[in-house]
Amino acid sequence: MEVNPSGSSSASASSELPPQPTTEKRLHLPPVPVYVPEEHRHRLPLPDIPKRKGTQLARTAEIESAAEAIVRERAAVLQRESLEEAAAKAEALTREMAASLEALDVKLRTSQEREAVASASVARFEAARRKEAAAKRQKFITCYFQNPLQHEAR
């Protein structure tokens, strides 16, 4: 029995298969670009840019400037959309607040009307009570002067 360097034992060396050469071709794809917001770009490592010559360098600069323009345009569109969204939310909130204020105004007017009706009712009651008290006094005075002896007996 043989012992492999890994520590396992095998019955024979013929059971181990030698590595087969692979015929697969690997595709070398460029990395997928990821959008990083401007405020986080300072955290990214600087890419290793190989030295390029002449037209290739100019073409690369042109592509990079076009890509930056696209990124700026997309950021502007997103900002404009978010501003429009915020404006729509603010407008909806304003309408809701106006409706709320209108409801409170109606409640206040109703409350003030009730208070006015109640104070008018109290004023009428007080006037009727004073009138009734005045009538009782007048009746007493009239009765007293007509028959003073009857009132002294009580």
| Digit-coded pLDDT (tens) for 101-127 | 898 888 888 988 989 999 999 999 999
Sequence-ordered alpha helix ranges (H) in the chain: 54-146, 148-153
The rounded distance, in Å, linking the Cα atoms of 24 and 29 is 15
| 36 found inside a domain | no
128-147 pLDDT tens trace: 999 999 999 998 888 877 77
Q: Residue holding tokens 């006094």? A: 137
pLDDT number for residue 96: 92
Return the higher-pLDDT residue of 66 and 26. Answer: 66
Q: DSSP states of 25-54 as a string?
A: ----PPPPP----GGGGGGSPPP-PPP--H
Contacts by residues 9-17 (CB-CB < 8 Å, ≥ 24 positions apart): none
pLDDT, residue 74, reads 87
Flag whether the pTM goes above 0.75: no
CA-CA-CA-CA torsion sign (10, 11, 15, 16):
positive
Total domains, the chain: 1
Structure tokens at 57: 């360098």
pLDDT value at residue 123: 93
Helix (H, G, I), strand (E, B) or coil at 48: coil
| Domain annotation covers residue 112 | yes
In a domain, 138, yes or no: no
Q: What is the per-residue pLDDT for 145?
A: 79
Burial (Cβ within 10 Å: 0-12, 13-18, ≥19) of residue 71: middle
64 located within any domain: yes
- Asked whether residue 121 is domain-assigned, the answer is yes
Which pLDDT score, from 0 to 100, does residue 63 have? 85
Q: 4-52: per-residue pLDDT in tens?
A: 555 555 555 555 666 665 565 666 666 666 676 777 766 766 666 555 5
pLDDT in tens, 78-104: 888 888 999 999 999 999 999 988 988
The answer to whether position 96 is within a domain reads yes
In a domain, 17, yes or no: no
Lookup result for tokens 């360097």 = 5
On whether the CB atoms of residues 143 and 151 are closer than 8 A, the answer is yes
**pLDDT value, residue 122:** 92
Q: What confidence score (pLDDT) does residue 4 get?
A: 54
- Answer yes or no: are the C-beta atoms of 154 and 144 closer than 8 Å: no
Amino acid at residue number 105: D
- Please indicate, yes or no, if residue 99 is contained in any of the structural domains: yes
Q: Which domain holds residue 105?
A: 57-125
